[in-house]
Structure 1
Amino acid sequence: MWIFDSYHRGAVELWDRERDSPKPLTFRYQPSFYLYLEDPHAHWEMIEGLECRFKVKECSFDTVYGSRDGYEIWAGRDVALKIEKQTHMQAQLYNVDLRIDQRYLADKGIFPCGDEGESRFDTDFEIPLTSLKIKVNANPQLARTIVEISVQNGGRERRLKGSERLIMADLFDLVRVIDPDVILFQDGDQWVPRIVAKAEKFGLDPSLSRTGWFRTMASKSYWSYGKVEHKTGAVIPEGRILIDTENSFTYRESGIEGIILASRLTGLSPNLTSRFTPGTLISNYEVYEALRRGIAVPFRKHDAERQRKVSELKGADKGGMIFQPKPGVYEGVYELDFTSFYPSIIVNYNLSPETLDGSKRRGFLSSVIEPLLDLRLKTKKLKKVDPRYRGFDSVLKWMLVTCFGYTGYKNAKFGRIEVHESITSISRDLLLQAKDIAESMNLEVLHGIVDCLWVKGGDATEFKERVEVATGIGTELEPYDWIVFLPLADGFGAYNRYYGRMSSGKLKVRGVAARKRDTPEYIRRMQMEVFAKMGEARSIDELRQIVSQAQEIVDRYHRGIQSADPSEMVIHRRISKLHYERRCVQASAIDAYRKRGVKVSPGMTVGFVVRDAGVWDVDTEWDASEFDSDYYGRLIDKAWEEAAFVFKSN
């Protein structure tokens, strides 16, 4: 059975691709949850009441901390919430809010997008899915009616035109005839809700769903890593995989291959893995692993952080080690990167909430991260010789990147802040250890950021080998012909703003204007053209000989700014809130969007062009016909300063 879609609608429904005519296989499944009470006798009346209404049995169940004696109750989430309320939050509940289809798959020992007998951690698997591409030729934020849809099947493209009803009817007929398993739909999560609504209005059968039913995901704004994010809602068809190719982070980073691998690992349908963040994917991977191993998943965290003295809190680690560089241009530099640094620390040091007391048993967190880490190390090597592994490697990279952050997330099922602090503490020690090894070999340490170190001089290959032996973590060594560490406004070295020419000829650029999301394309192109010219130089001497050529590029962009296309002046900013006390460019952008009839929510990214910087008068990216050339000229100068630092540095 090769499952490509799963959900719960009264029963668990699984779609098997190996069947001649894809139809859901329906399975009755009534999950239970576990209840643990420190003093059951104090709540005997509640337990008797539960036994009168639901199936309840005394039992022992496993948690990451060991076995618990409690009760298994065959009831829903509403009952669990009432138990919490009646016990004044003293009850510890497990397996309450899990996705029922995911739990069913784990209980049966099966997973999506794989054949029986396969390993979830195998990358050599087939994807026997047919696909279709759909694009509505209009802006989803502005268009009120659909006047044209492009449908691409293999090498053939059809353009559907006419009345809106005719376009809808033709689209549904095409989908019904081609009957794809996967629909790749640009801006699909914005268009499909409207298409389904229009189908109902016109009395049409929306064949995007093989059953005619759709599941909905609500839009929401939320905090993540100190900033507001926004997630667009979605209408998801049953029996097909619908991927929003424009807005799915997982699809953009790793393609359909990454989405399918994430589905195999997490026990979630591809419809969900294409829409979830890497953090949600790693969390669901841990949940699926726990269920597969018979470990109960906590409903509320009772171990987020133990009570500690103020002195302990002050001494706790809160971040990785960073060495401040001295601004300048350097030749013959090597960058040493630890491979999957934080996940490797979790595995090598057996870090998990239940092992913080020094327990020698294998921790849950380290044991579930280990196969993921091994798989990532494998795909990282394979992608260098076979590009089809790039999607696998990318999704694994992002899941492992976020596994560290989730150890300190207050709602993470298997997180605990002390684990988070232990990881950063160990990482600091390891980076210092690498620094000591470098200095013992008479290498000059120029800079270091958490999991990488820049050194100059000596035998870098021997340095790499000695660091790997000492730390037990793999590394990669990247040589530079030259590298530039930029200064902060106060003259000290910036931690994350640098660029340089690697010995392979590739230019590596970090933290400068061309890498920032809000930089207009015109400015980005200018700076990257300057960097490309600089990349022709293989030494500092050659670099400084091209100053006039680099300056000419900047002058050309200054001269051309008056005739530049306003669409290249668009600035993209994430909106953190909807109301501002003072006039600013974000407030003006929100006003411009509202005048256009576009709803703005916190966390959304808005695009605008500055028409008059003096009063922050802006137009939306769709309406801009003119711009403040003086303002954008200053942005050119600011971007040029980052490159010109090379020519001014001694």
Structure 2
Amino acid sequence: MTGFTFYPIEATYRIIDGKAVIFLIGRSGEGGHVIVADNTFPPYFYIKLKVQRESTVLMKRLLDFKLEDEKGGAFFTHIEPITKIYLGKKIDLLKAHTNLPGSVPKLREEVRKMDEVEDIFEYDIPFAKRYLIDKGITMLHAYTVEAVPFSYPSRVPCFMLSSISPGEGNRESLNILAFDIETYSPHGRVMVPEEHPIIMLAVSGKSVSKVITWKRFKTERKDIEFVESEAALLEHFFRLIESQRPDIIATYNGDGFDFPYIITRAKKHKIPLDIGLDHSEIIKNKAGQVEIVGMPHIDVYRFVKRIVRGNLQTQSYKLDAVAKELLGEGKHESDVSVLYKAWDEEQGLEQYCAYNLHDAMLTLKLAEKLLPNLIEFSRIVGQPLFDVNRMGFSQLIEWFLFKQALAENQLMPNKPSYRETRDRMRRSFVGGYVFQPTPGLYENILMFDFRSLYPTIISSHNIGPDTLSSLPPTVDALPVPLDDAKIFFVQERRSFLAKQIDDLISRRIRVKEMMKESPNPFLDARQNSLKLLANSFYGYLGFIQARFYNFDVGRSVTAYGRHYITMVIEKAQAAGFKVIYSDTDSIFIGLEEKKREDALRFVRQINETLPGVMELEYEGNFKAALFVPTRGNEGGAKKKYALLDEKDRIIIKGFETVRRNWSIIAKEVQREVISILLRTKNAKEATAYAQEIIEKLRKHMIPKDQVIIFTQLTKDIEGYESKGPHVKVAMRMKERGIPVSGGSIIQYIICQGAGSIGERAKFPDEVIENEYDAEYYINNQIVPSVDRLLAVFGVDPATLAESKSQSKLESFF
């Protein structure tokens, strides 16, 4: 028997001698990788009978039941009666253990058919995840393990578990290896991994930083390593992973690009992919996620796009934009679209090696910066880093609820069936209240919003499917403020969901208190993770695939939200403030003759009337705010405005600058016009700037790369009835043998000539500098991007597109 400290990093399982064996993979207290196996945990699911007294007969029948197959069959190994709480009520169940994880889906279908069975539950939880929940294992926490060595084909020591108990502390320093590839790509952004090789591969980690390439050139750089071929490059990369043996392999879009490309090229060269710690191969699973056993692949892009984006100012999730905001440095300037030419001509390859290495280094730095957040989410929801990295907020909430449900003996509802999902999609309820703004430029305005409006409503009003009632629980109980229904929530017992929100809020308060005494990035990541989860509860409840979805619960939350925001608006107006705009949980007010202290006093008075943990907070003072009219309407546009804060920073919401299918020049013009209007309030200057760009377009002084439009194919080409310009370009790309499909980003330029817009749309490589259709970009990109902004100041959009010579001629007459 061996005893040691163990820090688990991931969990999987293997079938050994006909039995499911959990593999916990991590680091020992001495620092080396180890595998701790557990062969004592059985797969199971729950069965609810129509008549509980029939349980004894059914238990015997189930234990005698077996589905035969070539692998030994699927059968039950043990069945026990238990009681759990389901949506507020105690119910009796059978806990049915099976011989293998793969037997669960087979046996559940047979059980469904039995007349005695009313329903089955928790049958769709992956085995390793189920183990972590039931055993309460937290990734990277210290555990004291008693185990015996056992023989298994592995690159690291393996132990069979005898006992495991929580220890003290966490492992927070992880060895990360980041990499990035550059490929030979004569078709620009369209990659063809079956045909085009990887020509450079950069790695960056604690003890390694270099580029591997297979075309030699003279260089003084010591961080460039030459090999003989692409096959040698891949083999060298795999050996480097083996020698480094990192805790984490980090990429930026490695699921979508780097790893699939490597897998394709390795298979072409017949190079083994068995780099997992148990000699298993790199695999791309059904969800398109790339897995390596023992070295979790963390795709930073996925985490940024799913979780971090809400905290970013940038609307682009490209490496350059994200790195600039989070790290203060971006990618090196280099035109990778012509890298293939440099490769063919053997010119300028050193700058591309530097570019490649810098990308890997940025990926490493982003991984290091975001790792505390990733670790905290993993600890809170009880799932491995690899899985949490790829979860959206609804998935994070659901796994958090699974973890909490076990502690409270709660039975989790099932995911909806196809019919239930279809029925949910047919119903909708009213969302948040919006106070429509009057178009204009406003000065000296304050913004307030409700702190976590929907979560605090759920907590303060004890909302949940398990407390929902159509009858008043007490004589003086008030219903939810709905016009078309009488809905109540009982107060004598806490709803399961409200308790979880309470827990998240109280834990965050405790962490923030700890930060005052001992601030560190992990505590900050923890409080931020707790906040994000709490704020995501309502979104989860409204998600039609959610286990806890409930129509009446969802509409009750938004009804209370409308009630409280309209109450604030009415009281603000009665107190003499000018309400400029309000949307769901926020309100913009103009001070008029009042002072900021008056507004803060007003908010304190509001908070005294709010129930539970609800609170209206001061968000900021803005020097200027610009609200524009809706197109074809005099009223103000909703969710579309620009602000200038006290630090002279511009915040843009809802404009074309955040949309992909506008050209770069259109976005730049709009951004600059907004800046001029907010900072100088000079409409003539803004108009003159827009007209100057228009003149440059007419003279083709704007380079073609500024007029490229990027549009995503939302489905395969064959699925389009109407063939827009991006579809037409995609069709021509396919004719040239360039693979495109739903999800591909198509870039194109509209050129001069006869025919429809689609017929004049060309791939950028096909276009010469003065070929683009200036009038198209002026009338369909530049003018629409600024017309409503300038309309606020009375500028006629028709005058924008006039040429300077035409304007002078008209003024002469």
TM-score (norm 2): 0.69
Q: Which amino acid aligns with 1:444?
A: K
Partner of 1:630 in structure 2? 775
Quick one: distance in 1 between partners of 2:232 and 2:413? 51
Out of 460, 470, 495, the residue aligned to residue 348 of structure 1 is 460
Q: Report whether the alignment pairs 1:507 with 2:646.
A: no
Name the SS for the 1:60 alignment partner. Answer: strand
Cα deviations by residue, 1:531-589 (Å, 9 ceiling, x for unpaired): 3333434xxxxx1xx33332343234324432434333333334333322223234325
Partner of 1:120 in structure 2? none
Out of 757, 771, 791, the residue aligned to residue 615 of structure 1 is 757
Name the SS for the 2:562 alignment partner. Answer: helix
Contact 1:176 1:207 (C-alpha < 8 Å) held by counterparts: no
Out of 118, 127, 131, the residue aligned to residue 100 of structure 1 is 127
Contact 1:5 1:269 (C-alpha < 8 Å) held by counterparts: yes
Q: Which amino acid aligns with 1:356?
A: L
Q: Report whether the alignment pairs 1:331 with 2:443.
A: yes
Name the SS for the 1:460 alignment partner. Answer: helix
Cα deviations by residue, 1:393-418 (Å, 9 ceiling, x for unpaired): 66555544442122133331223121
Is the deviation greater in 243-252 or in 507-516? 243-252
Unmatched segments (≥5 aa) in structure 2: 1-5, 16-20, 66-75, 99-103, 145-168, 215-228, 312-369, 470-488, 797-813
Partner of 2:484 in structure 1? none
Is the deviation greater in 411-420 or in 423-432? 411-420
Partner of 1:557 in structure 2? 693
Displacement after TM superposition at 1:451 (Å): 0.6
Quick one: distance in 2 between partners of 1:272 and 1:468? 40
Name the SS for the 2:602 alignment partner. Answer: helix
- Note closer, same or farther for the CA distance 1:207–1:374 as it changes in structure 2 (3 Å cut): farther
Instruction: Please give the residue correspondences for 1:222-233 in structure 2 after superposition, counting only pairs within 5 Å.
Output: 233=288
Aligned residues: 616
Instruction: Please give the residue correspondences for 1:146-185 in structure 2 after superposition, counting only pairs within 5 Å.
Output: 146-154=198-206, 157-162=209-214, 163-185=229-251
Displacement after TM superposition at 1:467 (Å): 2.5
Contact 1:5 1:241 (C-alpha < 8 Å) held by counterparts: yes
Displacement after TM superposition at 1:427 (Å): 0.4
Displacement after TM superposition at 1:50 (Å): 0.9
- Note closer, same or farther for the CA distance 1:193–1:210 as it changes in structure 2 (3 Å cut): farther
Partner of 1:477 in structure 2? 619
Q: Which amino acid aligns with 2:776?
A: Y
Partner of 2:85 in structure 1? 62
Name the SS for the 1:551 alignment partner. Answer: helix
Partner of 1:39 in structure 2? 51
- Note closer, same or farther for the CA distance 1:591–1:633 as it changes in structure 2 (3 Å cut): same
Cα deviations by residue, 1:17-37 (Å, 9 ceiling, x for unpaired): 334321221112212211112
Instruction: Please give the residue correspondences for 1:384-423 in structure 2 after superposition, counting only pairs within 5 Å.
Output: 396=530, 398-423=532-557
Contact 2:463 2:497 (C-alpha < 8 Å) held by counterparts: yes
With a CA cutoff of 8 Å and minimum separation of 6, indicate the structure with the bigger relative contact order: 1
Q: Report whether the alignment pairs 1:134 with 2:153.
A: no
Contact 2:451 2:616 (C-alpha < 8 Å) held by counterparts: yes
Quick one: distance in 2 between partners of 1:129 and 1:622? 44
Q: Report whether the alignment pairs 1:30 with 2:162.
A: no
Contact 1:251 1:259 (C-alpha < 8 Å) held by counterparts: no
Contact 1:34 1:73 (C-alpha < 8 Å) held by counterparts: yes
Contact 2:415 2:546 (C-alpha < 8 Å) held by counterparts: no
Contact 1:169 1:204 (C-alpha < 8 Å) held by counterparts: yes
Percentage of matched positions with identical amino acids: 20
Partner of 2:8 in structure 1? 3
Displacement after TM superposition at 1:85 (Å): 3.4
Partner of 1:424 in structure 2? 558
Q: Which amino acid aligns with 1:335?
A: M
Displacement after TM superposition at 1:48 (Å): 4.2
Partner of 1:262 in structure 2? 377
Contact 1:93 1:300 (C-alpha < 8 Å) held by counterparts: no
Is the deviation greater in 176-185 or in 52-61? 52-61
Is the deviation greater in 589-598 or in 166-175? 589-598
Contact 2:621 2:646 (C-alpha < 8 Å) held by counterparts: yes
Displacement after TM superposition at 1:98 (Å): 1.1
Quick one: distance in 2 between partners of 1:155 and 1:555? 54
- The 4+ residue runs of structure 1 with deviation greater than 6 A are 41-45, 377-383, 385-390
Cα deviations by residue, 1:499-524 (Å, 9 ceiling, x for unpaired): 12223322221111212232322222
Flag the structure with larger Rg.
2
Quick one: distance in 1 between partners of 2:463 and 2:550? 10
Q: Which amino acid aligns with 1:581?
A: E
Partner of 1:226 in structure 2? none
Displacement after TM superposition at 1:241 (Å): 2.1
Displacement after TM superposition at 1:40 (Å): 4.9
Quick one: distance in 2 between partners of 1:164 and 1:181? 26
Out of 10, 28, 46, the residue aligned to residue 18 of structure 1 is 28
- Note closer, same or farther for the CA distance 1:67–1:421 as it changes in structure 2 (3 Å cut): same
Partner of 2:333 in structure 1? none
Out of 774, 786, 790, the residue aligned to residue 640 of structure 1 is 786
Quick one: distance in 1 between partners of 2:177 and 2:251? 8
Unmatched segments (≥5 aa) in structure 1: 118-123, 221-232, 538-542
Name the SS for the 1:616 alignment partner. Answer: helix
Partner of 1:230 in structure 2? none
